[in-house]
Structure 1
């Protein structure tokens, strides 16, 4: 079965962006280390994003996930250049997409969409890179889920630049 993986970078205090959505602090790690990102990208063929995340990704230059199947959850967008718009409930969409052939699925974000997926109990794995920074405020890793979500540590890694990667299986 295709796994849905919420792969995200957060500050030490659990924020994925500043209050205004800025992610300038993400590029503060020095060096050219890949941190396993290329390997992760090769393991997936589908990208799921919320509208705000999608619109922010469009500001980065050429669309970075053009070689993947892309879906954007949105009630506001009328069309997307690089993705299909999803308006159906998370559980219905996930039931459908898991039946499609393919590799694993990357839930890019944001925190509200991740909370919807967690609430529905459809995220299989959580991969969090912790940046060595405390923002003090911002957009949380996950918005209110409405229930506890138990995790099982799968792996952890540290990097010379101070980043820590923590991988969890989601216990349903």
Structure 2
């Protein structure tokens, strides 16, 4: 697995939202006492790291408040019982960017300023504020359809908005500067 970050990608892990960098094995080695109970050894569909904690708690039969943890508990499926086996939407955050992935598409949105800190493979500033890939037609993520498939783009934006993590956030609205200027910024009023 370690070769993945050294030889196969352009960026380090967490730099982009492309499959080669975010599709990471999720491997759990159970204690020997669990081995005879395990039925499901591999999940083919997408799962999120957010589901690690609920799954580990479920495997160990440790109760937890259901509304407090994001993600799914896959322990029932692992033990061969009926239960969740995939996540319909995966939300990821990166440096100056965020994305959602479904089985059908991936949508990447970059924050203002991304082009100042990230470059393309060729070394020029990265100028795409949005990327949208139809994963059924283009699993290699080579054709950005954000400029041509407006219906899918609208759906993707909506799904991103629904799945953004709730964070302690504040927004600054700064007056436009025509020249070099100094601003007093008040974070809390």
How would you bin the TM-score normalised by the shorter chain? under 0.3
* Higher strand proportion (structure 1 or 2): 1
Q: TM-score, normalised by structure 2?
A: 0.20
Structure with more relative contact order (C-alpha pairs < 8 Å, separation 6 or more)? 1
